[in-house]
Amino acid sequence: WVFWGGKMAALAVVLIAVLGVGVVTSMGVQVYHGYANFEMDVYLKGLGALVGWPFLLIAVLALFFQVVTNQKYVGYALVLLYFLSQPVLGALDLNHNLYLYAGSPGAPYSDMNGFGHFWTGSLWFRVYWTFFAILLLLAVHLFWMRGKETAFGARLRIARLRLNTSARAVGGLASLGFLGAGAWIFYNTNVLNEYVPPDVQLERQARYEKDYGQYDGIPQPRITSVYAEVDLYPNERGVDIRGRYTLRNKESVAIDSLHMVWSSNTVDELELTVPGGEVVHEDSILGYRIYQLATALEPGDEMEMSFSVGVQNEGFVNSGSSTDLIYNGSFINNMAYFPHIGYNDGFEMGDPVERRRHDLPPIERFPSVYDTAGYNENYLTPESDWVEFETIVSTASDQIALAPGYIQSEWEEDGRRYFHYKMDAPILGFWSYLSGDWEIARDTWNDVEIAIYFHPGHDYNVDRMIESSKKSLEYFSREFGPYQHSQLRIVEFPRYARFAQSFPNTIPFSESIGFIARLDDPKDIDYVFYVTAHEIAHQWWAHQVMGANVQGATVTSETMSQYSALMVMEQEYGRDQMRRFLRYELDAYLQGRGGELIEEVPLFLVENQPYIHYRKGSLVTYAIRDYIGEEAFNQAMSRYVHDLRFTGPPYTTTLEYLDYLEPVVPPE
C-alpha cells in the first residue's frame, strides 16, 4: 500500500496546497480591505468539505483509471469522459446523486443562516461516495503493477492473491458503509421526500395544461377577505397554516363550481372546507380540486371557506432544497403556501422547444392590450382584487415574526412568540411572513415610522437605507400622492436569493444586494440606495395603481418604479452618476434581448419580460423626462395615481396611461 498510498498522498497534498493558497490569498485581500474577521470555520467547511473533498474523490477515480487500465492516455481519456458525462447525464434527466460519482446537493452559505440545513444532506452524500472511493482504492491496491506481467488475466490472478484477510475486511466495511449510507440517503430523498426527475416534472406540467387548461378563464368568485393563523417552526423548517377566505361572486352569471389549486411541490398536507360543496374531481399530484356547489353563487353573493395547510421539510433532498423555511431568516409568501382560486397559468410550460416535444400548442402570449375582457383581472393576483387582511403568526421564542399590517398585540405561550397583525385598509392579495433573529434600527419621516430589521453585525448600510427611505417617501409623496401607510419596514433575509420585494408596508430585502455591500469608491453605483428607492416606489406603483392582466401590465409596476427610483438617485447623486447607471441598464437590456425566446415587443406592450420593463423601461422613461421635463412627466403620473389608486376592475392599462401622458407633451 505504500506505493499507491504515496501517489494518493501526493495528489492530496497538491489539492490542499492549491486550496491553502486560495485561503491565504483571500485572507490577504480581506486584510488589504481592512477586514480581519476571517471566520476560519467557513473556509474549512466551504473550501475544505464542499470543494476540496469532491476533488479528492475525483483524484481517487483518476488513480483508479490509471492503475486498472495501466495505460496513461487511456486513463486520461476516462477521466475526461467522466467530466463530459456530467452534462450528458443531466440532459438525459439522470440527476440523482446516488449514481453521479462525487455528486451531492449544494450547500450555499449565508452569514444570517450559516450553511443551515443544507450541510446535512451534502455531508451524507460525501460520506456515501467516500466509502465507494475506499472500494476504488482497494481495487487500486489489488491491481497495482509491481512486476512484468501486464496481461489483464495475469493481473487478475495476482489481485486474487492480494485479497487477504485485511483487504477483505476493508472491502467488507467499506461496502457496508456504502450500502448503509446509500439506504439512509434513499430514505431521505425518495421516501421522506419525493424525488421528481426533470422529465417527470415536465410531463406533469404538460398534463396540467392538457387536463385543466380548459378551465382557464371560467367564472370564479374572488377573494375579498383573508384571515390566517400561521405557525412557523424555524428549527424544524415547517409551517402550519389555518385560515379562511371570504369569496364574492363579482361576475354577471351564477357560479356553480369552485376550482381550488395549490402548489403540490410545496404543500404536504391540505384540508379544504367548502360549505355546500361536493368534491367531484381531485388531482393531488398536480394540486387541483373541483367542488360542485349545492347552491349556485349568484352575482353579488358571498360565501366563506376555510383551509388548513401543513408543510414539513423532513430530512434532506437530492437537490433544490427549500430556501424558504430555514433556521434563521425564513421568508414565505401566500403564492406558494396558500390555496388559490381558479386555474393558474403560471404552472404552464414556458420553453417553446419542450412545448413542441409534449404536443402543446405555441405558448399563449399575454392578452392583447386592446382586449377589454382582460381588464377585469389584475396581472398579479387574478383571484382577488383588494382584500381585507388579518393574521396571527407565531415563531420560535428567540425570533421575531413579521407580516404586512400593524401590530395589534404580542405575547408568549408554550415557549413560542405570537404576533397579531391587521391591515387598516384593503390590500392586494399578496402577502408574506418572515421570521428571524434581527436587530432593529428605527427612524421616522413625518408621521411614518421607519424600521430596518437586520442581522446583528450587518449594519454597514442601514443608515444608507434609512436615508433612501426618507428621500423616497419625500419625493414620491410630493410628486405622485400620499403614502398610504404609517409604517415602512425593510427586512433582511438570507442571500440564497438576490432580490428585494415590496409587500404592503413591508419590504423583504436580500442580504446579498444591500446589507453586506461595500460601496466606498465614489464611482460605485449606490445600488443599496437605488434598490431601496425602487421597492418603496412599489408602494405607489402596484400597491396603489395596479395594471390589468394584459400586455403592458408591468409598465405600471416595474417601469414606473424604475423611473421613480432614478429620480431619487439623480436628486442624490447628480446626472453624471446617472449616466453610469443608464450605461449599465443599456448593457443589461442588450444582453437580455439576445436571450429572448419568443419576441421583443415595444415597451407599452411588454409581456412580463424583465429586460424590457426594467432595463429598457429605465432608458425610455428617463429619455421622456429629458424631452418633456420632469415637472410635466410627474404631473401626468400624479394625475394618473390620483384618479386610479385602489381602483379596479376594470384595471388600468398602458393605453390609459398614454392618455394621461399625451396632454403634457409639447406639440413638437
Q: What is the pLDDT of residue 372?
A: 93
pLDDT at 577: 85
Average pLDDT value over all residues in the chain: 94
- The answer to whether 492 and 453 are in contact (CB under 8 A) is yes
Angle, helix 630-644 to helix 654-661, in steps of 10 degrees? 130
Query: Strand, coil or helix: what is 390?
Result: strand
Phi/psi of residue 6, nearest 5 degrees: -65, -40
* Residue entry with cell 405557525: 231
**523 pLDDT above the threshold of 90:** no
Instruction: Residue count of the chain, please give it.
Output: 668
439 pLDDT tier (thresholds 50, 70, 90): very high
Share of the chain above pLDDT 90, in %: 88
Is the per-residue pLDDT at 668 higher than 90?
no
- Residue 250 to residues 125, 216, 543: CA-CA distances in angstroms? 53, 17, 21
pLDDT at residue 346 greater than cutoff 90? no
Flag the least confident range among 139-153, 405-419, 580-594.
139-153
Instruction: Kindly compute the dihedral angle of the four CA atoms of residues 193, 198, 203, 208, in this order, to the nearest 10 degrees.
Output: 60
In sequence order, which residues have a C-beta less than 8 Å from that of residue 253 and are 6 or more positions away?
Answer: 219, 299
Q: State the pLDDT confidence band at 295, using cuts at 50, 70 and 90.
A: very high
pLDDT band at 521 (very low <50, low <70, confident <90, very high): confident
**Rounded average pLDDT over 147-173:** 89
- What's the number of CA atoms in the CB half-sphere (13 Å) around residue 97? 26
Per-residue confidence band for 561, with pLDDT thresholds at 50, 70 and 90? very high
pTM of the model: 0.93
pLDDT tens readout for residues 372-419: 999 999 999 999 999 999 999 999 999 999 999 999 999 999 999 999
391's CB contacts (< 8 A; 6+ apart) are 226, 227, 228, 229, 230, 243, 403, 405, 420, 421, 422, 431, 433
Q: Which three cell numbers stand for residue 497?
A: 436569493
- pLDDT value for 251: 94
Tell me what the mean pLDDT of segment 2-7 comes to: 92
Note the pLDDT tens digit of each residue in 192-207. Answer: 999 999 999 999 999 9
Residues 343/213, Cβ–Cβ less than 8 Å: yes
φ, ψ for residue 446, nearest 5 deg: 50, -120
Residue-level pLDDT at 606: 95
Main-chain phi, psi angles of 580, to 5 degrees: -65, -45
- Element holding 469 (H helix, E strand): helix 462-479
Local confidence band at 187 (pLDDT 50, 70, 90 cut-offs) = very high
Q: Is the pLDDT of residue 148 over 90?
A: no
CB atoms within 10 A of CB 25: 10
**Model pLDDT for residues 116-144, shown as the tens digit of each residue:** 999 999 999 999 999 999 999 999 999 99
Contact 100, 86 (CB under 8 A): yes
* Residue entry with cell 361572486: 249
Measured from the Cβ of residue 254, the count of other Cβ atoms closer than 10 Å reads: 14
Per-residue pLDDT at 482 exceeds 90: yes
Q: Residue 648's pLDDT is what?
A: 84
659, pLDDT greater than 90: yes
Confidence of residue 19 (pLDDT cuts 50, 70, 90): very high
Average pLDDT over residues 636-650: 95
Strand partners, 130: none
